[in-house]
Amino acid sequence: MRSVVHPEQGTASEAVLHEPPHVPSQKVDMILFFSVFLLLCIGMGMVMSAALATNQPFRLFSRQLISVVLALAVMLGIARIDYHRWIQWRLPIYAGGVGVLLALYVPHVGMVMNGARRWIHLGGLTLQPSEMARDAMVILAAALLDKSRRMGGDGATLLIPRPSLLFFGGFLGVYAILILREPDFGSCLFMVMVLGIMFLLAGIPIRLFLKMGAAVLPVAVWFLLHHRYTLERFQNFKMARHSSSAAATQLGQSLVALGSGGLTGAGLGHDWVGGGILPEPGTDFIFALVGEELGLFGTLVVLMIFATIFYRGMKVASQAPDFLGRILAQGFTLSIAIEAIINMGVVTGLFPTKGIPLPFMSFGGSSLLANALGMGVILSVSRFRKTKPVLVPSGQTSLRSHAG
């Protein structure tokens, strides 16, 4: 917006451009916020429907309601914190991630389900530490990349010191070892995938990126050789459509649930597959329940909401006032988007079965809180949108500006 030039103030030719300071606009990206809120509402409806098929519907629904309220409080609270502070707190956050991963091995705290030690029980909430660890690594990666960009000198070149890269690799290695010991290859691969794309978007040289990938590859090979169940899962996935295995049954019921809803679905609480033999209808396979009860229309709405979140998150990143804000917004947007793609890919038979929830919709406190933290950081960055230069008369100043 241009300020009006009065005759006594001079002509337009005498006006000068003033770059307004990057100050918070005190208003978060409301489209992004309401998109998340809509997913939470749809998720609550699906969890309630899935809970009706259990012996304790009120207990499950109330637990999810508490988790949603906590997630909203966390998201809005973090949105009010200057995102630069997360870099100052990166080491305590990382240490906290290590602490919750080690808590898996504390008696009466760590929980073993289906042969894996992936959950901790605290104060009535069941949390998955690997979700929190991923958020911590996104913050740590953003700190490294921001420091490297500033060391580049020209504001466009990444100069990553070898010691810093080795320290980062060591930090990532500790997390990877603790997560792989659960064992949880999928969550570890997911975390590495998010970090890898963050480095590419930051402009890391391809040669260095390939070297980093070569360093990770032996760990992945070692794990696959010593944990045959992962390879067996891939083999079952390839044969799932032509066998009677558990994986085939799981995928088959998921596809039946998706297709049985037609255009508009059977309605909330009227599922015959999800509430019967479809495994985990309120958690990993909640998208199949959406297809059954809300139909093709419901699944397309959910897809559009996730597409909106991805678009607005990346727009927030492009409007960030500095590189740190950009890479933080990109990292957390990618984390939410990739998690959603993997979950929906599993439900539709595109990917092997993996216990990754659908962000903001699946039952469970850890996924909700972890994604709420990430969304809170994105909303915090959105409060510091770039502002366009303001044309004001020479010799005068103006604080008038508008967001780009």
Burial (CB < 10 A; 0-12, 13-18, 19+), residue 22, is middle
Query: pLDDT of the chain along its 404 residues, tens only?
Result: 433 434 334 443 333 333 344 566 668 899 999 999 999 999 998 888 887 777 777 888 888 898 899 999 999 999 999 999 998 898 899 998 888 888 888 877 777 776 677 778 776 667 788 888 899 999 999 999 988 887 766 556 677 778 888 888 888 888 888 888 877 778 888 899 999 999 999 888 888 888 888 888 887 777 777 666 666 666 666 665 555 555 556 667 777 777 777 887 777 766 555 555 566 666 778 888 888 888 899 999 999 999 999 999 999 999 998 999 999 999 999 999 999 999 998 888 888 777 788 999 988 778 899 999 999 999 999 998 776 554 545 454 444 444 54
Burial of 95 (0-12, 13-18, 19+ CB in 10 A): exposed
Give CA–CA dist 246/239, Å, rounded: 11
Q: Structure tokens of 249?
A: 């049954």
Number of residues in the chain: 404
The predicted model scores a pTM of: 0.83
SS3 state of residue 257? helix
CA distance linking residue 307 with residue 317, whole number of Å? 15
Backbone angles phi, psi at 179, to 5 degrees: -75, -40
Task: Compute the 3-state secondary structure of the chain and give helix, strand, coil in percent, each to the nearest 5.
Answer: 65, 5, 30
Q: Which residues contact 34 (CB under 8 A, 6 or more apart)?
A: none
Which tens digits make up the pLDDT trace of 196-248?
999 999 888 888 888 888 888 887 777 777 666 666 666 666 665 555 555 55
Q: Return the structure tokens found at 200.
A: 């590419």
Q: Which residues contact 314 (CB under 8 A, 6 or more apart)?
A: 329, 330, 333
> Which backbone phi and psi does 195 adopt, to 5 degrees?
-65, -40
Euclidean distance between CA atoms 280 and 386, whole angstroms = 43
Local structure of residue 403 (DSSP, 8 states): B
The SS3 assignment for 109 reads coil
Amino acid identity of residue 356, one-letter, is I
Sequence ranges of the domains in the chain = 21-386
Q: Alpha carbon of 283 to those of 118, 122, 139, 388: distances in Å?
A: 15, 20, 27, 44
